[in-house]
């Protein structure tokens, strides 16, 4: 078994120089010695696995360093060999590749999921620096999937799900089409073995019935192309079982209803011949309207190029046809690994690698703005969508975005600053909402403003990793800044309660508190207070007790309240249950992760939580607040024609904006109108109420408090 694998590898390495092959032989001997005595779950010698991975890498014609790293990829993880030994023997580039491929088994994680997420992050970031890392990892995963029968059913399902969710989409993103299909097929076979076997059996039974039809199509196509003097290779292939299953699920079809279980491919010599062949085939069989896609003029984001068309063949059977050149066919099979180059500048890379390089750089961008490994992995999963829409900038540049991407995704794809300052947009010269989904062919223009900034609501509809990471980063930075200011005010109030002020606290006390609480800085402690993660009273006592233990501390009267301006931002929130407005008696509640939440004194929600006295703080309104506040009004009126218009007009005349209005469906003699109004304070609200009471049809007005 080992001898056969070595022979196969030697034959595949014929594209390298004799010197490179000698180095690879040396790496094989080193790996064989390191893994001596180790076996795979199947019982065979462990060295068969690195040999198989190296064979796959050599099949993609990667350089000697990549093949050596493939042979050595498990030695650091499974044996006593160190990175330094590999570096000394085979050079630093090979050692770096092997290190990037090694799992993070030396670090303790809270859970398996956290360990896996961190492992993926390490791999993806290493890939951003050197894409060979992921190519070797994909080859490793492919061989593991091919030999997965030897492991337990539970592990089999876990590895298969991981492959389907992460590795197969990455293979697709790197343009490795045949690898992508095989990984999907193997994952499906292990995840849903009964479904796989059932479809495979039905496919085998249908094969004989449809073979005659397939041969007839192949002969007709070849004959017509030859008659048109087009030199072409025509082939028909059975669709993968997973592709058939996906079609059955998405279109709610039974197997017998899936007619197009065969796909046909026409390979010609150049691009003009592709379009000429398309015309000839459309003359032979009628095309299905709306089923033509030109991936030659606009390649897929992974560099894939081809013409796709669906034709109605004999017996009404739909035929899926791909038309491409030899080079496009090669790139479709091997993607970023095709025509492998290691050059110093982008200008020297082929188009496929340029696209991949841009995506890899975006990974680093996303990593910079992601909080932890799980969040980073969530972003990357979103970015591995296989379907794209192609849209145009005002200058005619094409951008590829995931299906379902919105105007905000487009803005961030153009530039981070454009996304952060985005306030409106035009699609095909018409103003549209920011949540508007893009369609292929749309021409998108972003309108920005210096004062605009990201809105947390954008996170509910953006699709790309970059947009999601940038919005979260902005929110995090903004919230931390605002929380620090609020924390300072809360701590100041707590210290005044104890007869001290912030200026009285010595620098040494702060430094000792930072060390004792394992915080990174004084600012982090203040931000934690503002976000409710620490209590100001406890921090104040710790600051004072560090050097002045005083039995009377904590018995002094509370001094002062927190003043609410209304412009604090995310660190101060106004409770949605009671919608406090300036003039209302208010109380503040420290809620973990949200900061200070302001309620009215008589709010039912706040009265239920009064038991936890440490979390309540005295707050009062600034006499000069500088914003409008939402308030809910329930207006009961006689159900007559035009009464809603009268009420809305009175509200507008009182200088008040209506943010939302709804009417109860259950109406008889009376109707209840629910308004969300924007007012400056209680005096402003009183003016609105006086205006409404003057309307004869108004029966009752109440302020909404849930």
- Point out the residues that are catalytic: 77-78
- The answer to whether 57 and 66 are in contact (CB under 8 A) is yes
* Residue 605 neighbours by CB distance under 10 Å: 16
According to DSSP, residue 111 is labeled S
Burial of 190 per CB tally in 10 Å (0-12, 13-18, 19+): buried
- The answer to whether 703 and 631 are in contact (CB under 8 A) is yes
Helix (H) / strand (E) element for 319: namely strand 318-325
Among 499, 512, 503, 493, CA closest to 553: 499
* Residue 16 neighbours by CB distance under 10 Å: 18
CA distance 464 to 384: 9
CA end-to-end span of the chain: 73
CA distance 669 to 665: 12
Please state, in angstroms and as integers, the Cα–Cα distance from residue 202 to each residue in 89, 135, 206, 261, 316, following that order: 54, 35, 6, 11, 21
CA distance 304 to 528: 49
Burial of 454 per CB tally in 10 Å (0-12, 13-18, 19+): buried
Question: What values do phi and psi take at 701, rounded to 5?
Answer: -130, 135
Helix, strand, coil abundance in the chain, percent, nearest 5: 55, 15, 30
Burial of 438 per CB tally in 10 Å (0-12, 13-18, 19+): buried
Burial of 688 per CB tally in 10 Å (0-12, 13-18, 19+): buried
Q: Which residues contact 223 (CB under 8 A, 6 or more apart)?
A: none
* Residue 341 neighbours by CB distance under 10 Å: 10
- The answer to whether 197 and 245 are in contact (CB under 8 A) is no
Crossing angle for the helix pair 18-34 and 83-90, nearest 10 degrees?
A: 150
Please state, in angstroms and as integers, the Cα–Cα distance from residue 219 to each residue in 154, 274, 315, 325, following that order: 47, 19, 16, 20
Pairing of strands 318-325, 262-268: parallel
Task: Using DSSP, state whether 632 is helix, strand or coil.
Answer: strand
- The answer to whether 185 and 240 are in contact (CB under 8 A) is yes
**Angle made by CA atoms 389, 393, 397, in degrees to the nearest 5:** 85
The three-state DSSP-derived secondary structure of 170-217 is: HHHHCCCHHHHHHHHHHHHHHHCHHHHHHHHHHHHHHHHHHHHHHHHH
CA distance 179 to 168: 8
CA distance 704 to 706: 6
- The answer to whether 61 and 337 are in contact (CB under 8 A) is yes
């Amino acid at each position: 078994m080992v001898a056969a694998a070595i022979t196969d590898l030697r034959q595949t390495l014929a594209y390298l120089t004799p010197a490179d092959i000698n180095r690879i032989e040396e790496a094989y001997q080193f790996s064989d010695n390191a893994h001596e005595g180790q076996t795979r779950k199947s019982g065979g010698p462990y060295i068969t696995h690195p040999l198989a991975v190296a064979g796959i890498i050599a099949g993609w014609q990667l350089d000697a360093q990549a093949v050596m790293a493939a042979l050595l990829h498990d030695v650091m993880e499974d044996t006593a060999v160190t990175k330094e030994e590999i570096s000394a023997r085979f050079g630093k580039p090979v050692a770096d590749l092997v290190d990037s491929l090694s799992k993070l088994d030396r670090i303790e994680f809270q859970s398996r999921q956290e360990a896996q997420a961190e492992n993926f992050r390490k791999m993806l970031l290493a890939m951003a620096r050197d894409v060979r890392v992921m190519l070797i990892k994909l080859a490793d995963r492919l061989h593991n999937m091919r030999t997965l029968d030897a492991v337990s059913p539970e592990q089999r399902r876990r590895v298969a799900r991981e492959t389907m969710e992460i590795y197969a989409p990455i293979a697709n993103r790197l343009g490795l089409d045949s690898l992508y299909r095989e990984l999907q097929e193997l994952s499906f076979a292990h995840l849903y073995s009964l479904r796989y076997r059932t479809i495979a059996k039905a496919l085998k039974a249908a094969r004989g019935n449809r073979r005659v039809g397939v041969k007839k199509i192949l002969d007709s196509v070849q004959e017509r192309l030859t008659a048109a003097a087009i030199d072409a290779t025509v082939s028909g292939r059975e669709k993968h079982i997973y592709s058939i299953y996906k079609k059955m699920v998405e279109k709610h079809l039974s197997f017998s209803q899936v007619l197009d279980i065969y796909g046909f491919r026409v390979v010609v010599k150049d691009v003009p011949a592709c379009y000429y062949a398309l015309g000839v085939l459309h003359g032979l069989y009628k095309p299905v309207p709306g089923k033509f896609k030109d991936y030659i003029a606009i390649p897929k984001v992974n560099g894939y190029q081809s013409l796709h068309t669906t034709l109605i063949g004999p017996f009404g059977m739909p035929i899926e046809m791909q038309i491409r050149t030899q080079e496009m066919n090669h790139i479709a099979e091997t993607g970023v690994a095709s025509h492998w180059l290691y050059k110093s500048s982008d200008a020297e890379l082929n188009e496929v690698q340029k696209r991949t390089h841009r995506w890899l750089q975006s990974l680093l961008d996303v990593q910079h703005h992601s909080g932890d490994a799980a969040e980073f992995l969530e972003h990357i999963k979103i970015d591995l969508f296989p379907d794209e829409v192609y849209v145009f900038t005002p200058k005619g540049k094409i951008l590829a975005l995931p299906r379902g991407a919105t105007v905000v995704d487009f803005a961030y794809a153009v530039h981070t600053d454009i996304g952060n300052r985005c306030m409106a947009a035009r699609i095909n010269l018409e103003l549209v909402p920011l949540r508007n989904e893009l369609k292929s062919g749309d021409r998108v223009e972003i309108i920005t403003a210096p004062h605009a900034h990201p809105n947390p609501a954008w996170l509910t509809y953006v699709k790309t990793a970059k947009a999601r990471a940038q919005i979260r980063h902005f929110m995090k930075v903004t919230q931390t800044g605002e929380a620090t200011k609020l924390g300072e005010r809360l701590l100041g109030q707590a210290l005044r309660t104890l007869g001290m002020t912030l200026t009285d606290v010595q620098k040494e006390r702060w430094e000792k508190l930072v060390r004792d609480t394992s915080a990174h800085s004084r600012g982090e402690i203040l931000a934690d207070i503002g976000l409710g993660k620490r209590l100001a009273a406890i921090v104040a006592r710790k600051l004072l007790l560090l050097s002045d233990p005083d039995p009377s501390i904590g018995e002094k009267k509370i001094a002062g309240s927190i003043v609410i301006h209304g412009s604090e931002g995310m660190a101060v929130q106004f409770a949605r249950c009671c919608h406090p407005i300036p003039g209302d008696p208010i109380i503040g509640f420290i809620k973990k992760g949200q900061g200070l939440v302001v309620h009215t004194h008589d709010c039912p929600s706040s009265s239920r939580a009064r038991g936890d006295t440490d979390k309540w703080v005295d707050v009062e309104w600034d006499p000069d607040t500088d914003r409008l506040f939402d308030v809910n009004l329930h207006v009961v009126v006689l159900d007559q024609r035009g009464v809603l218009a009268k009420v809305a007009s009175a509200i507008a005349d009182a200088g008040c904006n209506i943010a939302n209005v709804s009417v109860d469906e259950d109406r008889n003699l009376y109707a209840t109108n629910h308004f969300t109004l924007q007012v400056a304070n209680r005096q402003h609200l009183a003016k609105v109420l006086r205006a409404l009471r003057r309307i004869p049809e108004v029966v009752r007005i109440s302020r909404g408090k849930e």
